[in-house]
Amino acid sequence: MQFDATGKIALDQIYTQRDPRAYFSTLRELDYRIPQLAKPYFLKFIQEYREASGVSAPTVVDVGCSYGVNAALLRCDATIDELYERYCGVDARAPNRRELLTRDRNWVRSRGQLKNVRFIGLDNSAPALSYALAAGFLDDAVHADLEQHDPTDQQREQFAAADLVISTGCIGYVGERTITKIASASKKPWMAHFVLRMFPFEPIAHRLAELGYETVPVTGVFKQRRFASAQEQSLVLDTLSTAGVDPRGLEADGWLYAQLHISQPR
Ligand SMILES: C[S@@+](CC[C@H](N)C(=O)[O-])C[C@H]1O[C@@H](n2cnc3c(N)ncnc32)[C@H](O)[C@@H]1O
């Protein structure tokens, strides 16, 4: 088992497969569930945006969208357990990528209920974005690593359409550089980020404040996933301690926890 600099297990290889089976089978083992817990908050956030702005068909940018996980849950009114079954169940073993995609496109057609929301996914994994677009989970995709590079003119245009920006499981891989580049290229979209407690949100909130945002943490914590091993837990507890976060009753008991941060223009 390999670990990244923050102490979490390295999962890079499951982010870049041609289809989502390795992604879901690995994360199912870890009881990964943050997209499911985030779903009602995102739905409420989109509805509040509609009411406040009068925009009936908003565009949502999902940062670190992977195989379009949040878009699939929201668009198809699905649960993460359904996604686990779709990609890890017995029916998912035989099909090739093309057959999986045909199955997914039919699913989106039959289940796609959230029709008046446009989803743009941002990720640095081209294979994940390609799958999510072909399946119909995403309407558009931005393949970029904004930690390393500035957005191109075309990517800026894509971000300019954003009304809302959401993320689960991505802050930590990306930080204030990515978030401020998106905010600067767009018309101050509302933001909702579910962020592991081991990653302080203050640097992002600070940069967003300079751009005219106010950030409020939502009360409560959300189970993200189980630790993969005692060693991962120990390394993450070290990172939490360095960040001054008390893990008692939470990470100390075997799960990684996230907090929701809402950032809106003042
Ligand atoms: C844990 S996954 C979360 C995926 C999805 N949001 C979910 O909750 O299921 C993290 C995602 O961040 C992406 N990622 C990592 N570094 C990135 C970067 N520098 N820019 C954009 N995406 C990145 C990975 O490719 C991966 O898809």
CA of 15 to the centre of ligand 1 (A): 7
Mutate to test the pocket of ligand 1, among 79, 83, 124, 194 (most ligand atoms within 8 A of CB): 124
Using CA atoms, how far apart are residues 10 and 3, in angstroms rounded to an integer?
Answer: 5
Mutate to test the pocket of ligand 1, among 123, 155, 171, 224 (most ligand atoms within 8 A of CB): 123
Q: Residue with the nearest Cα to atom 27 of ligand 1?
A: 66
pLDDT score, position 215: 98
Using CA atoms, how far apart are residues 205 and 200, in angstroms rounded to an integer?
Answer: 10
Query: Does residue 30 have a pLDDT over 80?
Result: yes
Q: Could you tell me the CA-to-CA distances from 12 to 4, 9, 76, 133 in Å, in that order? A: 10, 9, 27, 20
pLDDT score, position 94: 87
Using CA atoms, how far apart are residues 59 and 206, in angstroms rounded to an integer?
Answer: 25
Compute the average pLDDT of residues 123-134.
98
Q: Residue ranges of the domains in the chain?
A: 12-265
Q: What is the pLDDT of residues 79-111, one digit of tens each?
A: 999 999 999 999 998 899 999 999 999 999 999
Q: Residue with the nearest Cα to atom 12 of ligand 1?
A: 64
Q: Radius of gyration (Cα) for the chain, nearest Å?
A: 18
pLDDT score, position 252: 98
The pocket around ligand 1, CB under 6 angstroms, is made up of: 15, 34-35, 64-66, 69-70, 122-125, 128, 145, 147, 168-170, 173-174
- HEC profile for 101-167? HHHHHHHHHHHCCCCCCEEEEEECCHHHHHHHHHHCCCCEEEECCCCCCCCCHHHHHHHHCCCEEEE
pLDDT score, position 115: 81
Using CA atoms, how far apart are residues 135 and 122, in angstroms rounded to an integer?
Answer: 16
Q: Is the pTM of this model over 0.95?
A: yes
- Domain 12-265 fold is Rossmann fold (3.40.50)
Q: What is the pLDDT of residues 32-87, one digit of tens each?
A: 999 999 999 999 999 999 999 999 999 999 999 999 999 999 999 999 999 999 99
Mutate to test the pocket of ligand 1, among 4, 6, 15, 73 (most ligand atoms within 8 A of CB): 15
Using CA atoms, how far apart are residues 179 and 144, in angstroms rounded to an integer?
Answer: 13
Using CA atoms, how far apart are residues 141 and 231, in angstroms rounded to an integer?
Answer: 36
Residue 134 is encoded by which pair of tokens? 């072909």
Which atom of ligand 1 is least distant from the CA of 173? 16
The residue behind tokens 């998912």 is 92
Query: Does residue 1 have a pLDDT over 90?
Result: no
Compute the average pLDDT of residues 167-176.
98
Compute the average pLDDT of residues 217-245.
98
pLDDT score, position 112: 74
Using CA atoms, how far apart are residues 247 and 254, in angstroms rounded to an integer?
Answer: 10
Using CA atoms, how far apart are residues 182 and 53, in angstroms rounded to an integer?
Answer: 20
Query: Does residue 244 have a pLDDT over 90?
Result: yes
Compute the average pLDDT of residues 4-11.
96
Please say whether the beta carbons of 52 and 156 come within 8 A: no
